[in-house]
Amino acid sequence: MNFQVGSALLDACVLANVSDSDVYGYSLTQSLKDVINISESTLYPVLRRLQSDNLLTVYDSPFQGRNRRYYRITDAGKQRLTDYANDWREFVARVNHILSKGGASDEQRTISEGA
């Protein structure tokens, strides 16, 4: 089953991948493809936006006669990633709670049990 990936989740995945080490765009796309369905044409605008938000910096480095553009996470990017990770854990806990109860909320169970 495929779930739609919102921009915040995509940002979090990009920042998490870049937090380990500097990466270039194609490598990042391949890494993310293992988890979510993303194309380079989707990824590069995200990288530019994260750069303009000062969450990533960029530099070029020669590789086999060509330049590769590498992305590096900033301190602000690390903080944003921490915030995303905290929000994600809370979200997952809530969804797991709902799914483990078959979709009924506590209030719905209380109402049906009292009836």
* Per-residue pLDDT tens over the stretch 27-59: 999 999 888 888 888 899 999 999 999 999 999
Residue with tokens 């969804």: 95
Residues 6+ apart with CB under 8 A from 45: none
Fold of 7-114: Arc Repressor Mutant, subunit A (1.10.10)
pTM, to two decimals? 0.79
Question: In terms of DSSP H, where are the helices of 1-115?
Answer: 7-20, 25-33, 40-52, 75-100, 106-114
Look at residue 1 in the predicted model and tell me its pLDDT: 46
The CA distance from 18 to 51, in Å, is: 12
Quick count: other Cβ atoms within 10 Å of Cβ 30? 12
Burial-class residue 45 by CB neighbours within 10 Å (0-12, 13-18, 19+): exposed
The domain ranges of the chain are: 7-114
